[in-house]
Amino acid sequence: MSAEFPYVRPRRLRTTPAMRRMVAQTRLHPAELILPLFVREGIGEPVPISAMPGVVQHTRDTLRKAAVQAAEAGLGGLMLFGVPAVQDATGSEGTNPDGILQKAIRDVVSEVGDSIVVMSDLCLDEYTDHGHCGVLAADGSVDNDATLARYAEMAVVQADAGVHLVGPSGMMDGQIGVVRRALDQAGHLDTGILAYTAKYASAFFGPFREAVGSSLQGDRKSYQQDPANAREALRELALDVAEGADLVMVKPAMAYLDILRQVADASPVPVSAYQVSGEYSMVEAAAANGWIDRERTILETLTSIRRAGAEQILTYWAVEAAAMLR
């Protein structure tokens, strides 16, 4: 048969697990995974997030334990989100040096030191009673420049608490430059910035709103990117890098692999992607119904994000995936 039909046979490189492993073009490593963690003020035990099976709002004590577990698993980083007891129009708890996120940063850094990169979300949506990522103008729109002043304050209190990287996620114009200047002027020259560069106004963020206790009414389409658009992601990339971003991010990940590939091809700094709450919850729901193989699907989704160009992946499966990879 082979003499009569001299096929090229790519299947020769798929014959055994050892062969497939040897020629694999994309590899996952625990150090590339970042675990998002939620810490809630005023609770005595972890609170399950109903829309995200297996994910909880931590107490300060359980957050410490989760951070140690993540470091021992060999993860690259943690992204911390605070859930305050009180929200107000300006998100004042976000800039309170003794606010829940700042306390959590100090707690985690005291536990894990420099053995894992500690990152913090720099946004107001968790702290405002209207749920938007900034302060509002008189007409109810988000005031870009007034919000930047709040972000500058947030960056400094988070850096004062000891965070290694801040993650400005509000998609305000000029946010990276303002945060960089604020950090430098406060003497935090070594505190880095992970810029949420291409953050889309996505339906996949739904379960996250429960996780952070968001009171948002309406949407964020006036500041987050339109899912229909690709080119502006590269414009945002150029601006963030020029303003001082140390790393950049595409969010969500799985529905935006084309954007991730374009950003990765163009970026002079490391590129991250966030596998968001809705992506997580879809897989968990399908697996719970027996429709898909859960572990295979987890690793396949992470591999696809890595293959598209992400050098770091924020995922709620980070610890579990690290164990699978070992």
Q: Are 121 and 79 in contact (CB under 8 A)?
A: yes
Nearest Cα residue to 156 out of 113, 112, 120 = 120
CA–CA dist 153, 195 (Å, integer): 17
What type of residue is 318? A
Alpha helices in 144-204 (DSSP H): 144-160, 175-185
CA–CA dist 79, 33 (Å, integer): 11
Residue with tokens 């707690």: 107
Pairing of strands 312-314, 247-251: unpaired
Q: Which residues contact 13 (CB under 8 A, 6 or more apart)?
A: 19, 20, 23
Helix axes 60-72, 100-112, angle to 10 degrees: 40
Q: Is 95 helix (H, G, I), strand (E, B) or coil?
A: helix
User: Annotated active-site positions, please?
Assistant: 199, 251
Nearest Cα residue to 177 out of 250, 121, 238, 221 = 238
Nearest Cα residue to 71 out of 33, 27, 120 = 33
CA 294 and chain centroid, separation:
22
Q: Which residues contact 323 (CB under 8 A, 6 or more apart)?
A: 73
